[in-house]
Amino acid sequence: MTQNDEVQATVHPLYAVPLLQAQMPDAEALNAGLRELFLRMEAEGERHRDIQARDTQYRIFESNFYLHKRQEAPVRTLFDHIDSLLANFIRGISGFDDARMDNIEMDMHSWFHVTRKGGFQSVHNHPNASWSAIYCVDPGDSTEAQSGAVRFHDPRVGSDMYRDPANEHLQIPYRIGAWKLTHEAGQLIAFPSYLLHEVFPYTGERPRIVVALNAWCRWKTPPL
């Protein structure tokens, strides 16, 4: 090959992690209704709390896992949006047409968290699901940048074993290392359930409130 020969090369975005970030419309009115409902349910204590104690959580009220089945108007509005966003997300990244999407049945667990001052959740993922999501009802009133933030960990073990100028400034989807996200009211994020993540200690006075879910799908009729 001479210097004048053209080199044909392709860069493949292998092992990219798809993460959806969306803002709900009319979130202020929706969140006011959700906040009132969730704080009332929290005040009723064990009636709505999930029975499984989790050693990854501190100062977090976790509801039972059937929030999406409740009939209150704010809950129905929220899950109408979430169902549509998840379906479009799966359709887009899977390349499915209408027939394929119509043949998919989705099921889920969903719950809400009320986090008080000092509350946090250590590193975990969500087994037995394909997709997880978090919707922010109220990020709280802390002014500290790290307060209540979610940190996602790079799933590629050893990807940051050596850092130098040639790899530490890679752009999405090639970046390496953890990724931190600060919740905003009305924001939904969806991500693969295998992705390890944690919630930093919350330092505000007003309760931090989020909705979370795990979703899994099955074919209604096995495709040929």
Domain segments of the chain as ranges: 20-219
pLDDT at position 83 is: 97
Residues 121-136 pLDDT 10s: 999 999 999 999 999 9
Please tell me the CATH superfamily of domain 20-219, with its number: q2cbj1_9rhob like domain (2.60.120.620)
Decide: helix, strand or coil at residue 153. Answer: coil
From CA 140, how far away is CA 143, in angstroms rounded?
9
- Sign of CA pseudo-dihedral 55, 60, 65, 68: negative
Residues 87-145 pLDDT 10s: 999 999 999 999 999 999 999 999 999 999 999 999 999 999 999 999 999 999 999 99
From CA 108, how far away is CA 5, in angstroms rounded?
55
Nearest to 181 by CA among 194, 200, 205, 206: 200
Task: Report yes or no on whether pTM surpasses 0.75.
Answer: yes
pLDDT at position 45 is: 85
**Token pair of 21, please?**
């970030």
Outline where DSSP puts E strands in 38-166: 57-62, 104-124, 131-138, 150-152
Across the chain, which distance is largest between two alpha carbons, in Å? Answer: 78
pLDDT for 3 beyond 80? no
